[in-house]
Structure 1
Amino acid sequence: MKAHKSDVLIVGGGFMGAASAFFLRQRGRSVTLLERDQIGQYASGVNFGNVRRQGRALCQLDLANRSWALWKRLPALIGEDLEFLPSGHMRVCYDEAHIDELRAYAAAPEARALDLEVITGKALHQRFSFLGPEVKAGSYAPHDGHANPRLAAPAFARAAVRAGARVEERTEVRDVQKIGGEFHVTTVDGQVFIAEQLLITAGAWGSKLSEQFGEPVPLETHGPQMAVTEPVPYALPTVIGVFTKIPEEVIYFRQIARGNIVIGGGYRSRPDMLTRRVQVEPRSTLNQIEQMQRLLPGAANLNIIRVWSGIESYTPDSLPVISASSKVDGLFYAFGFCGHGFQLGPGVGEVMAEWMSTGQTSTHVAPFDVRRFAPPAALQQGEPMVLKTGSNAR
């Protein structure tokens, strides 16, 4: 069978992989994207849809700001509408002791571009009268907002294809060999793909690939818990999330233009990584209903019409892996986004395209280096390297 050659091969067709493929084509690189199932099927398509910068680790804000600039250019950038609405985002708290933390975050130099405003007491409830009486304060980010996660990765993938990329769904990688200066990738159905550079954007399966190159990442997998209500008149443009140290109090909601209120947060479930399935936890749905009554009393009598989950991966320090390999020339990683990668998607794609095309990036990504996990002894560069992925790789 004839091998397919390109400059860059991407394994994993979530938001990060699709955006990287698009921006690589903008730089004139030939690119092939392989996805074992469907584009955006896992974390990228089932998340809450927050396009927020506030609340992120301060070291992420340079990347988040770059991504936000790209979100503002939609849909002109890719020719499709992702329903991005910069309607504002607010973190609220029930505990007055947390107000100082909200203020400290807002005052940090890294957060300057967010234009955060901390509002307390009577002023908060006059401005956001729908909030429950237990809410003590809120940090308001006027430029953040939300979008439709089901649309994002497929739209970027289609834009990449229109720009000349090759995107292969239902294509499972069987093994990878690094021979000389090229990666040779063989799929389960016998296709062979060859490229000078390899980008692993395989989400919760990322470490199954990176560990074969001597760079394991200690990922935990969880299933986010999501629900949506029946439609009601549109009145809640601002995305609201609770800032708390109590896990069951973590809840967030947004209302879409059709009137439904999307709810996330609370208890998470454990995915089955072999079957690639995850269940909704009934206790999480019940907890969401209870917490919504505290946060948004007016929603107490609304009906939940659908619930769902997905598969997300989490690192011990809650920071992603965005890195060149320290072991293998031409190998790059972008995975492990800890349940808050959606807003970063366009920025990660542009950063990876810049990095892989020029050898460097202007965005601060040093805290996300794969080497922080102190992997075992390095594999020797330059010798043939075989990666066996079997049924656990995407």
Structure 2
Amino acid sequence: MDVIVLGGGLMGTASAYFLARRGARVTLIERNRIGTGATVASFGNIRRTGRHLSQLPLAHRSLKLWGEADKMLGRDVEFRASGHIRLIFDEGSLTDMRAYAEAARPWGLELEELGQSEIRARFPGLGPDAIAASFSPHDGSGNPRLIAPAFAEAALKLGAAIVEDAKIERIERTDSGFLVATSEGTFAAECLLNTAGAWGARIAAQFGEEIPLDARGPQMGVTEPLPHRILPVVGIWTRDKDHGAYLRQVERGNIVFGGAAERVPVDLDPGHAAADPTRLPLQLRAVARLLPAIAQVAIIRTWCGCEGYMRDMLPVMGRSATTEGLFHAFGFSGHGFQLGPGVGDAMAELITTDRCETPLDDFRVDRFSRAA
């Protein structure tokens, strides 16, 4: 089986690797360089807490693969199962957390509830005003700069072709499959997998599938290095978007943070946005609620990305509803990093066997037209 994968982020490179591992002949086409889109701008959070319940089977599948990544890919991608804590500052958010924990339990996610004294004892310096927290001990973080190149390199070793700096000029459905003409040559395959991220809806539209996707950029930042003391990824339970911050400390000591600042619209041509310095004060106030010490630390860099956001915040994943041999995996709405390996494995299973052990029906491409 020949498969063309469009898009060289985490979803595309993971798909290419798992397809090649299943014996498919794979050509991955990327418009820029591998891993330079939404993946590299990611926060690096590997969390299951707070996900839509229908995503949890995919998240569980992916977490297992994250745990195997170093051995599987032959390099350290800095996955650390250091845990994920979400702080709670009001009774309404505590109620929300408890309701979610109860609903998620049958889906295989167990959350530990921490009281004030437990937070102080186990995670000193975090959220001094927090009244409670949830803790998921098996989640953690990974390095967004390493994971997509690692999957691409591993796919290459399995015989996949990786084509970078290839601008798509034309995509055609032929009698035998698909023809993709690019600035780096023309490629043919029996199947086409659309993992083009924020550009995914444009590709789907060429096959009569209209997807309500918005391209937006999250604002991120990183501090100077500090002594390494914060092990878990830190987030918050809140309904207030101005408080929705998160942070993690990497082993080199820098604290990576994001959230709170409104995601900015992104023009897909050229497809990137600049960080807005006027948004930083609001963001830092929200982050300081989680970690007051950050108020005394120098910020050394800020950046922005380009992600595809769906109306219902669920991805498009599975078979095309209009075109035989076309598959989609895009629109992960800012929370696809944890799912990446599982997405690649699931799509490879679906494409090569016509089945998938992980339920994908909630992610169908035609769900918006069916609801109309």
Matches within 5 A, 1:231-246: 231-246=225-240
Question: 336, 354, 359: which one pairs with 1:359?
Answer: 354
* Deviation, structure 1 residue 178: 0.9
Question: 226, 249, 267: which one pairs with 1:255?
Answer: 249
Residues 226, 309 of structure 1: 8 Å contact kept: yes
1:226 maps to what in 2?
220
Matches within 5 A, 1:1-394: 7-110=2-105, 113-189=108-184, 191-267=185-261, 268-374=263-369
Which AA in structure 2 matches 1:374? S
Which AA in structure 2 matches 1:50? N
Tell me the distance in 1 between the aligned counterparts of 2:130 and 2:278. 23
Residues 45, 152 of structure 1: 8 Å contact kept: no
* Deviation, structure 1 residue 112: 5.5
* Deviation, structure 1 residue 300: 1.6
* Deviation, structure 1 residue 181: 2.9
Residues 182, 196 of structure 1: 8 Å contact kept: yes
Tell me the distance in 2 between the aligned counterparts of 1:293 and 1:54. 22
1:117-153 Cα deviation digits (max 9, x unpaired):
0112333333322123321211100000001101111
TM-score normalised to structure 2 length: 0.96
Cα distance change on mapping 1:328 and 1:110 into 2, 3 Å: farther
**Structure 2: segments with no counterpart, 5+ residues:** none
Residues 271, 279 of structure 1: 8 Å contact kept: no
Bigger mean CA offset, 327-336 vs 261-270: 261-270
* Deviation, structure 1 residue 288: 2.1
Tell me the distance in 2 between the aligned counterparts of 1:289 and 1:342. 23
Identity %: 46
* Deviation, structure 1 residue 111: 5.8
Tell me the distance in 2 between the aligned counterparts of 1:203 and 1:99. 34
Tell me the distance in 2 between the aligned counterparts of 1:155 and 1:145. 19
Residues 14, 41 of structure 1: 8 Å contact kept: yes
Residues 326, 371 of structure 1: 8 Å contact kept: yes
Tell me the distance in 2 between the aligned counterparts of 1:270 and 1:175. 26
Which AA in structure 1 matches 2:200? G
Tell me the distance in 2 between the aligned counterparts of 1:336 and 1:356. 19
Residues 114, 143 of structure 1: 8 Å contact kept: no
Bigger mean CA offset, 110-119 vs 219-228: 110-119
Which AA in structure 2 matches 1:187? T
Residues 251, 266 of structure 1: 8 Å contact kept: yes
Cα distance change on mapping 1:344 and 1:43 into 2, 3 Å: same
* Deviation, structure 1 residue 109: 4.8
* Deviation, structure 1 residue 216: 1.4
* Deviation, structure 1 residue 93: 1.9
- Structure 1 runs (4+) deviating above 6 angstroms are none
TM-score normalised to structure 1 length: 0.91
Residues 19, 348 of structure 1: 8 Å contact kept: yes
Residues 56, 107 of structure 2: 8 Å contact kept: no
* Deviation, structure 1 residue 329: 0.6
Residues 228, 251 of structure 2: 8 Å contact kept: yes
Which AA in structure 2 matches 1:203? G
* Deviation, structure 1 residue 110: 4.9
